[in-house]
Structures are given as C-alpha cells and as structure tokens.
Amino acid sequence: MPCQNQREKSGRNEESIVIAHLTGTLNVKSPEYVVLDVNGVGYGLFVTLNTFYDLPDIGTKITLLTYTHVREDALQLYGFLSLKERLMFEKLIGVSKIGPKLARNILSKLSAEDLKSAIVQADAGLIHSIPGIGEKTAQRLILELKDKISRPDISEEDARYDILAKTHEKDGSLFTDAVSALVNLGYPKHNAQKAVQSCVSSRPSGIDSLKDLIKHSLDLLSR
C-alpha cells in the first residue's frame, strides 16, 4: 500500500520517517486522542470523532492506519480505522492553508464519504458550516480537490487485508492461502478476507495451521 513521505515545509529536504500503521492494545480512548500499547510502548495518536465512535472497548487489540506529521519541534501521529478517512485526510492537508489539525476537525464533522459528496457536488455551504472553514477556504477546497476526489482509490478491504497480513508476518502465507481456499470454495473475496481478519484478530497468540484458519473462517461465514 503506497504511503507518501510527510515533511514539514521548511528549508530542509530530508525525508522523514513514516509510520504507516500500528497494531497494539487500546489503553486510552477519548474524542481527541488514543493511546495504543505496542509491545510495551505507548503511542499517542490524534483521532477524528468518526474514528473515535467506531473504536472498540479499551483492552482490545486493534490496528490503526497512521499519518506521521513531522515538525521542527515535534512528531505527531494521527490514527484512522478507515483507509478512506486517511486518504481523505491526506488529500485535505494537500490543500493550501489546511493543516493536520484543521483536516482532523473537518473529518470530525463530516465522514469521508459525506465530504467527498460535498466536494463533487460543489456544496460550499456545507463545507463552510464546519468551524474553522471560511467561505474562501471552502471554495478553494472544492477547486483543488474536485478532480482528485473522482480518481479511484485503493480498495479499502484489500488494504485492510494487506495491513493485517503484514502485521502478523509469521502468518502472512496462511492469510493468502486461507483467502484463496475460501474463494475457491465459492465465497466472494470480500467476505473471505473479512472472515480471515476476524479469526486472526480474535486469536492474538497466532494461528496453529492453515486447516485451523480455514475451519474457523468457515464457521464465521456459515453464521
């Protein structure tokens, strides 16, 4: 999955280190930020309200897609449950005079899909209703993103699957083989991926075998 290098606009040209995603235990969650425990290290990530509303209970192991914002005096992480939301976030901060904080505020008021519709339909009034967005900024946002927003993005389910597979590297081949087996049995790829994801997420200690993974995935698909 492609991930752009983010850098602060300054006289420096060095590329920054990018954290593409984090998997760990949800220790703290609030409407503004969460803390994810990854192997004993607590990562604080700013989140949108839409991501906050979809977060599971504290103590649950989750994967958050991330955007790494590097400044001269700080490194800030923004976390997203949805690839669509992160892609929209990245498009927003590409608009002049819209930084990560304002982009987060926009996506707390409108979902990525609702914002996309507003841009495509040139609904400046709806965008202007978001606190911090003036009329000129709303018009500029539509002007700069309307063409970009119509381009197809990477499949969200494929991206989630790829991230989860890479997160559990030792089980990576089992992921691929299990999904392939389920597809060969006649299940849609979308459903097969979701079943495999659910199985692995519910068994953080790992998968014993391909047969084991397929069996439990079939149990989920048959419900």
Could you tell me the residue ranges of all domains in the chain? Answer: 21-81, 84-149, 156-221
Beta strands in 20-175 (DSSP E): 21-29, 33-38, 41-47, 61-70, 75-80
If phi over 0 gives left and psi between -120 and 50 gives alpha, with beta otherwise, what is residue 106?
alpha
Look at residue 129 in the predicted model and tell me its pLDDT: 92
Answer whether residue 160 shows pLDDT above 80: no
Give residues with Cβ within 8 angstroms of 81, minimum separation 6. Answer: 51, 54, 55, 62, 64, 65
Same fold flag, 21-81 and 84-149 = no
CATH architecture of 84-149: Orthogonal Bundle (1.10)
For 7, 15, 79, 92, the CA distances from 10, given in Å and listed in that order, are: 8, 12, 24, 19
Q: Which of 61-75, 123-137, 164-178 has the lowest mean pLDDT?
A: 164-178
C-alpha to C-alpha distance for 94 and 88, rounded to whole angstroms: 10
More confident residue, 82 or 89: 89
pLDDT tier at 108 (50, 70, 90 boundaries)? very high
Average pLDDT, the chain: 80
Q: Which CATH architecture has domain 21-81?
A: Beta Barrel (2.40)
Q: What is the CA radius of gyration of the chain?
A: 19
Whole-number pLDDT of residue 63: 87
Mean pLDDT of 16-33: 84
Helices 156-167, 83-92: crossing angle, 10 deg rounding: 110
pTM beyond 0.75, yes or no:
no
Q: Which of 128-142, 167-181, 193-207 has the lowest mean pLDDT?
A: 167-181
Q: What is the pLDDT of residue 99?
A: 92
Residues in Cβ contact with 201 at an 8 Å cutoff, skipping those fewer than 6 apart: 61, 164
Least confident window among 72-81, 132-141, 163-172, 206-215: 163-172
The rounded distance, in Å, linking the Cα atoms of 170 and 201 is: 14
Rounded distance between C-alpha atoms, residue 185 and residue 219, angstroms = 14
